[in-house]
Amino acid sequence: MSPLWDSESLSKGTTRQRLVLRVHDVTSISPLTSSGFIANDPRFEGRASRREWDMAQQQLVGGGLGERPNLIRSIPVHITSGWASRQYDPFVSFVPDPQTPASSWISSTGSFQWAVWEIARRLKKFPDRDEVSLSVIRTPRHYPQGYRAPRGYAVWAEQAIWHYMERNFWDLSDYPTVTRATRFAKASQELLWYGRIFASDVIQTSTWTRWETPIDLPEEFLIPPKHRSRAGRRWIDWLVFDPEEEGAGESMEKISARRLQLDKSRGYM
């Protein structure tokens, strides 16, 4: 088994858009399988044929989303029906809902900070979830030369929504959903995959529990060591933010403040 990517590599890889991350657990609508992740729209069931997928993907890439209006309209619906459920604040992520419509999309995030916040939020908020998984995924623009496995197709959600908003694509009645979806896509730096995330693109998957992280977190995520014994015994108790009570935006602000504090203490400023 290859060594796990550390937090610095994950941060750099996501910042450069070479990697994205998918947070998932036993309740996820698109769980990890031996074939990778598969969207829950029934038309993707059993779509294992390499030739069939290549043809569908070429049509999508060749024609672009502009030729698929229903697919474009499904982006805000996917976001607001899943991670940014209308039952919750748009900055608070996925809560399973049996009424969630089938979707052609699979969500991932381009933010390591957001991924850690979401993992901690699930572990702290939902006592029935003993573990949460984090998958590291290669982005479509960074396939190596000569890559022969099936290629995925993905779009950055915020950019796609704004692009078609500028073209007056949506009706006025769509805008509450579109606005909420845009806010959430920006906060989570959401990359949406169409239909499949192939197993060949899933570089690594690690398991996180309330008591243990598979990698060391950066210092700016954590309170000073001298305060940890009073805060609790679990890593989720040592975070500089409360993932159950504080949204992603506020949590990231606290991470930035702690980083600034550390830089000052080290004489970097």
Instruction: Give the model confidence (pLDDT) of 195-230 as tens digits.
Output: 889 898 999 999 999 999 999 999 999 999 999 999
Cα R_g (the chain), whole angstroms? 19
Q: What's the mean pLDDT when you consider all of the chain? A: 84
Characterize 182-210 residue by residue with b for buried, 16 or more Cβ atoms within 10 angstroms of its Cβ, and e for exposed: bbbbbbbbbbbbbbbbbebbbebeeebbb
215 in Cβ contact with 119 (< 8 Å) = no
In this predicted model, what pLDDT tens digit does every residue of 128-177 receive, in sequence order? 999 999 999 999 777 778 777 777 888 899 988 887 776 667 777 778 88
Helix axes of 175-188 and 69-81: crossing angle, nearest 10 degrees? 70
- Tokens describing residue 27: 């309740």
**Residue 148: its pLDDT value, please?**
75
Q: How far is CA 248 from CA 89, 98, 182, 265, in A?
A: 11, 25, 15, 26
| pTM of the complete model beyond 0.75 | yes
Largest CA distance in the chain: 58
Helix axes of 175-188 and 112-125: crossing angle, nearest 10 degrees? 100
- pLDDT score of 34 more than 60: yes
The matching CATH number, chosen from 1.10.3470, 3.90.210, 1.10.150, 2.60.40, for 7-214 is: 3.90.210
Percent of the chain with pLDDT over 90: 49
